[in-house]
Chains A and B, each alone.
Chain A
Amino acid sequence: MAHLDTRAKLAILADAAKYDASCASSGTAKRNSVGGKGLGSTEGSGICHSYAPDGRCISLLKILLTNSCIFDCHYCINRRSSNVRRAKFTVDEVVRLTLSFYKRNYIEGLFLSSGIIGSSNYTMEAMVRVARTLRLDHDFRGYIHLKSIPDADPALLDQAALYADRLSINVELPTVEGLGKLAPEKDAVRIRTAMSGLKAGIAENKEARAKYRSAPKFAPAGQSTQMIVGADAADDSAVVASASSLYGKFGLRRVYYSAFSPIPDASAVLPLVQPPLMREHRLYQADWLMRFYGFGVAEVQGATDDGMLPLDIDPKTAWALKHREQFPMDVNLAPREHLLRVPGLGVKAVNAVLRARRQRRLSLADIGRLTRGIEKLRPFLIASDWRPVALAERDDLRPRLVKAERSQLELFG
């Protein structure tokens, strides 16, 4: 494009990045700029510096290096055949934007992704150059997340891992068939090969660092991926199975879901309706059940109706309603794994219950102080002063729970 200034490019290249759901800037090594020459720090958990009206947090400068692309994936706004305006940042422009935003405390760092121009290697090389310039020339110690190009030379991915906190490679769609239909030029095998290469690199680096403290850090915040939900026919059971196998196989830190969003100049292959955002929300809740609550894939799948998680109640409640015989549960006696299965009782609250009940027996009011609200919990719990009728005997339960969930959801918007 002839004469676009940095700001005009930013408009195009931020626009192109707005479909990406991942944003986290957490989980990396702690560091700060004391004694250095540049700026920046990371202290474990990331900071959301702003929120957009779509409710998503803005913690990183999330942009594309370019939105030109040699590929033609149907769900993607940047695909070759799309009519969108194109722009391309220079390495220097991205570096300057990142630093000037960071100095003003607008962001935690940079999340750089890119359309593929020239070749995968050429593109990946440019992305690595951005990260290297930030780290080496400017001694930048903030967060860097690079979205890697899967079929770039593995040596380039290794380099990227030296400068970036986190690397991600999108699996794009939950199933290989979906990928074949909507992104025929992308190769599921290569995507997975790149992910396992990263996994091996991260593991090797851990060992090396255990032996030699001076070994350089390699993607200290690990790797993540994103898949688009609702663009193909995969149901929630398939999505959940796919995510779980990704966690297992590649040691991912996070799997992000992005509800397929209508894009301008959309390909005719795509559905024109967007999936409800609630579906995305339920999938994230299911993801939590597997990562923090000890649910297996089959159990989450068991909470679905014909493969889809209910939209009106959360997956844990859905599971509980299908396993009524296990409730109500005695908070003063039940083991941790069981308490974690109580709808509305989070990990924090369960830990607090366990600590407190070592000293005394807990009442319903005590539980109320540890959770967001007692309404939803009541039917599932036995406390020192409370004993509901058995869940199995109540048939008015679901509507009541939906009501309780509604009033809580207000909080989530």
Chain B
Amino acid sequence: MPTVTLAAPDDFDGWRDAARALVAGSVPPSQVTWTVAGEAGDLLGGDSALPPATAPSFSVPKAFIDMARRVVCNAEPERFALLHAALAQLRTRPKLLEDTADRLVNRLYLLDKGVRRDVHKMRAFVRFREVEDPGLPYGDERFAAWFEPEHHIVRLNAGFFVRRFAQMRWSILTPEQCVHWDTQELSFTPGAVKADAPDGDPIEATWKTYYAHIFNPARLKVNAMTKEMPKKYWKNLPEASLIPDLIAGAAERTRGMIATPSRDAAPAGAIAELRAEAAVCTRCALYGPATQTVFGEGPADARLMFVGEQPGDQEDLAGRPFIGPAGQVFDRALAAAGIERSSTYVTNAVKHFKFEPRGKRRIHAKPGTAEIDACRWWVDNERLAIKPAVTVALGATAARSLTGKTVTISKERGRPLPLPDGSELWITVHPSFLLRIEDRTQAEAEFERFVADLQAIRERVAALA
């Protein structure tokens, strides 16, 4: 029984030469074993000698060659034998391929379709990441991607990426085979593991922003999505990590879209509008465990705006800023400095409570820079709506949110700093800092300093009038 061993799983030329000889030698397809070098079946060995051709070679339709070129790349072990069988039949039935309802042809057609689909998915779902490469002259970019195809399509599909990214240096790594393009030539190397590919690219954050916002929550159709983008691809698509949250938040966002007060019905202030939108904010992960968004409070024409760190346990439950222990210290200091809290706008840099559950208690956790930066969206917009003459950052988190950088409070407190819109920023400590000082005298001294800062601020606001 003849065994044909092909050089590689996608060795079309090898299959064609062998199949041609077998058909010409009238060897019945059922008697041939096809294997690929290095694959299990190969170990059994066998008689690889092909019979001498006893019949003249014959021509086959180009459509068959095109299809066979793809079908050979299918992972189905039977593919070579099925193609061989079709080739043998073509000799007596040259129009065989036109009968796609025929069992064999249909089988090949489905194998072909599987490969085409895989080729298409690779074109769609390869995600290049920029690679740092100090060896390259400045300005030269290099990109690499990790992809896991279902079939043996890397070689078959390489041309597409060359045509599309002809001037780019790139590599696509896959478990079975890797392909590289240096703007001149293609090369192939053995398979790799995911860790060999770069694992991040700064642009991905921007891409995810796009993905989250181009989605219309009023039209949720999850099945339609997973049909075209099956879950097995998700792990290598940066945007897919957003999907669960987008789905979970869709109903609420839709309600938010409809419930946002209409201007024709009742002209709503910009702050009310922002508050409604922030109520369904999912810009960072903090919205998940928290009870609700704690948005700013105060008159829309306030000239003085305070920005604290983030809501605490009590604020999270009540939905209002600065009402817990730190809020009480804050109220006392304001009164001492002669500032009417109800004339100011009070808000937080981060609008959701961040905590770690400890038994039945929720322990305050400091917001990270990513959260501060995500939530800055709201502070910026609150400032845009209120247009305060003076904005006060209470503590380092607020300072980071308003300046975009890390600042040392002791260095910056007690004097105005210009903000890009021409108004003033003052930086001072957060009231909770005062709560944490254990030494009584020192605590009192710090409280006085805080009040002094507030007084200076009150005078400044008056002077700016």
Which residues of A line the B interface, CB within 8 A?
A: 1-4, 6-8, 10-12, 14-15, 17-19, 32-41, 43, 47-58, 61-63, 81-83, 85, 97, 100-101, 103-106, 259, 261-269, 272, 274, 277, 352-353, 355-356, 358-360, 362, 366-367, 369-370, 410-413
Contacts and interface: CB of A to CB of B under 8 A. Distances in A.
Sorting the interface of chain B by its residue count into under 10, 10 to 19, 20 to 34 or 35 or more gives: 35 or more
Interface in B199-256: 201, 203, 205-207, 209-229, 237, 239, 243, 246-247, 250, 254, 256
Contact of A411 (B120, B222, B227): B227
Contact of A103 (B168, B250, B420): B168
Contact of A55 (B203, B206, B225): B225
B433 interface: no
B211 A104 contact: no
B106 A3 contact: no
A104 B160 CA distance: 14
A3 B124 contact: no
9 contacts: A2-B420, A14-B210, A54-B216, A105-B164, A261-B219, A356-B101, A358-B98, A369-B103, A412-B227
Contacts of A97: 206
Interface of B: 95, 98-103, 106, 120, 123-130, 141, 143, 145, 160, 162-168, 201, 203, 205-207, 209-229, 237, 239, 243, 246-247, 250, 254, 256-258, 260-265, 268, 270, 273, 277, 377, 380-381, 384, 420-421
Given A41-B163, A53-B221, A352 B124 contact: no
B168 A52 contact: no
3 closest residue pairs by CB, A with B: A55-B224, A413-B223, A55-B221
A352 B113 CA distance: 15
Contacts, number: 223
A40 B166 CA distance: 8
A277 B221 contact: yes
A58 B214 contact: yes
Given A43-B160, A410-B223, A53 B101 contact: no
A48 B263 CA distance: 37
A82 B126 CA distance: 39
Contacts of B95: 358-359
Nearest to A142: B164
A104 B377 contact: no
A262 B218 contact: yes
Given A49-B125, A268-B265, A17 B214 contact: yes
A103 B215 contact: no
A8 B377 contact: yes
B166 A33 contact: yes
Nearest to A412: B224
B213 A53 contact: no
A98 B228 CA distance: 24
Nearest to B239: A50
B203 A53 contact: no
Nearest to A267: B264
A53 B225 contact: yes
B263 A82 contact: yes
Given A3-B380, A83-B268, A265-B273, A104 B143 contact: yes
Contacts of A61: 210
A367 B243 CA distance: 38
Nearest to A41: B164
Given A14-B209, A265-B261, A54 B219 contact: yes
B122 to A, nearest CB: 10
B128 to A, nearest CB: 5
Given A47-B120, A82-B263, 6 more contacts: A12-B213, A14-B209, A50-B229, A105-B127, A356-B102, A370-B101
A39 B164 contact: yes
Contacts of A53: 215, 220-222, 225, 243, 246-247, 250
A104 B126 CA distance: 8
Contacts of A104: 127-130, 143, 201, 203, 207
Which of B100, B160, B210, B225 gathers most chain A CB within 10 Å? Answer: B210
A34 B229 CA distance: 30
Contacts of B223: 55, 410-413
B213 A265 contact: no
Contacts of A106: 127, 207
Which of A6, A39, A269 gathers most chain B CB within 10 Å? Answer: A39
A355 B124 contact: no
A25 to B, nearest CB: 12
A272 B216 contact: no
Contact of B99 (A36, A39, A48, A355): A355
B260 A52 contact: no
A98 to B, nearest CB: 11
Contact of B273 (A17, A83, A410): A83
